[in-house]
Amino acid sequence: MLYRVIDRDELPSLVAAFMERYEVIAPVQRGSKYVFAAVDSFDDIVLDYPTTIASPKKYLMPAKETLFEFNAEENAVTDYTCEVPARVLFGVHACDINGMLNLNSVFTDPRYPDPYFQARNDATLIVGIGCTPSEFCFCNLMDSEEARPSYDLFLTDIGEKYLVSIGSVVAANILEGACTVREATDADRIAFRAVTRARQKAFNQDIPDVQEIPMLMDAFHEDPFWEELGGRCLSCNACANVCPTCYCFDIRDTLDPGGATGRRERVWDACTSPQFAMVAGGHNFRPTPVERVRHRMYHKLNGFLATHDRSLCVGCGRCALACKVDISPIEVLKFFERKGA
């Protein structure tokens, strides 16, 4: 990885350079919260945000998208059109970068690649930024504290400067054109290490650091704990909607009023939804919230690991914030701690 340094006051020039060629999506304030949204001025961007309500997942996998349109009278199907604007996701935290990498592993699997996701992914640059953990963050426990090298640039604030980790040629060229780029000095590296250490100390120490989580998920699969945890679930799907790594979807065909034309749409779905595991004939493989919550936690903390060698949950903490009845992987970690793990 190549490291460079720019002065803090050059960041607006970098964003302006991106805006010449890309739609820029960045964290902005909405009331007392933060969201990712399109911006047309550097002044709208908030870079020291704690976390956003939802992840930037929607820019790679919209909550609803048309896959193709059909005309039954003409027996015609339009090719899918994925008119994706060239975008920069600017100011993304490490957990969300790793979350998008998890989505990437799913949707670019060569056995069943997803052209819609791929088109968006190919048109998107990612500029990450270092963060300070908030109360519900536990990316450090999910091996997601550092962004895996799937970004184009990653900025770390080291005082009046940013240490810039460069991940792509296209972003490096834009950086070089917009800013006075310097080699990192020993003092810059020392400052970077100090920032990293301070960040590590800032994580909420009340969230237990449990080892061998996948094994524990198997060992306690039948424990009454799941009745207590899952029994509280309201099936509202808020957890899945804010999660950077939930990727399940449903497919619907919608007919226009005449009945001859229509479209096939993909919409987000969630395994916490009562109908999610219902099949033809009416059988439901997970009819209770207890089974659904346990399934969700199992996939996040164990199931994905078997095929992708990393946990699906990246520890962003959003579901802990969103859930009205305190269901989240944090509660599972606390349960394992109570069991002496």
Contacting positions for ligand SF4 (CB under 6 A): 233-239, 242-245, 272, 293, 300, 313-319, 322-323, 325, 327-329
Beta bridge partners of 34: 29
Smallest distance, ligand SF4 to C-beta of residue 71, A: 38
Backbone φ and ψ for 20, nearest 5 degrees, come out as: -65, -30
If you compute the radius of gyration of the chain from its CA atoms, what whole number of angstroms results? 22
The residue (of 57 and 87) whose beta carbon lies closer to ligand SF4 is: 57
Residue 38 host element (H or E)? strand 33-39
The residue (of 166 and 314) whose beta carbon lies closer to ligand SF4 is: 314
Smallest distance, ligand SF4 to C-beta of residue 68, A: 30
Using alpha carbons only, what angle is made at residue 187 by residues 184 and 192, rounded to the nearest 5 degrees?
Answer: 75
Q: Which residues contact 90 (CB under 8 A, 6 or more apart)?
A: 15, 18, 24, 25, 26, 39, 45, 127
Smallest distance, ligand SF4 to C-beta of residue 270, A: 7
Cβ atoms within 10 Å of 282's Cβ, excluding its own: 6
- Beta pairing, strands 182-183 & 23-30: unpaired
Smallest distance, ligand SF4 to C-beta of residue 301, A: 8
The residue (of 96 and 152) whose beta carbon lies closer to ligand SF4 is: 96
- Nearest-angstrom CA–CA distance, 188 and 84: 38
| Helix, strand and coil percent figures for the chain, each rounded to 5 | 35, 20, 40
Smallest distance, ligand SF4 to C-beta of residue 42, A: 28
Burial group, residue 288, by CB count within 10 angstroms (0-12, 13-18, 19+): middle
Smallest distance, ligand SF4 to C-beta of residue 85, A: 26
| Integer angstrom CA distances of residue 338 from 34, 142, 210, 333 | 34, 19, 11, 9
The residue (of 72 and 325) whose beta carbon lies closer to ligand SF4 is: 325
The residue (of 161 and 318) whose beta carbon lies closer to ligand SF4 is: 318
DSSP E strands in 94-225: the ranges are 124-129, 153-157, 161-166, 182-183
Smallest distance, ligand SF4 to C-beta of residue 188, A: 32
The residue (of 216 and 293) whose beta carbon lies closer to ligand SF4 is: 293
The residue (of 192 and 336) whose beta carbon lies closer to ligand SF4 is: 336
The residue (of 55 and 124) whose beta carbon lies closer to ligand SF4 is: 55
Asked if residues 210 and 333 have their Cβ atoms less than 8 Å apart, the reply is yes
Smallest distance, ligand SF4 to C-beta of residue 259, A: 36
- Nearest-angstrom CA–CA distance, 26 and 208: 32
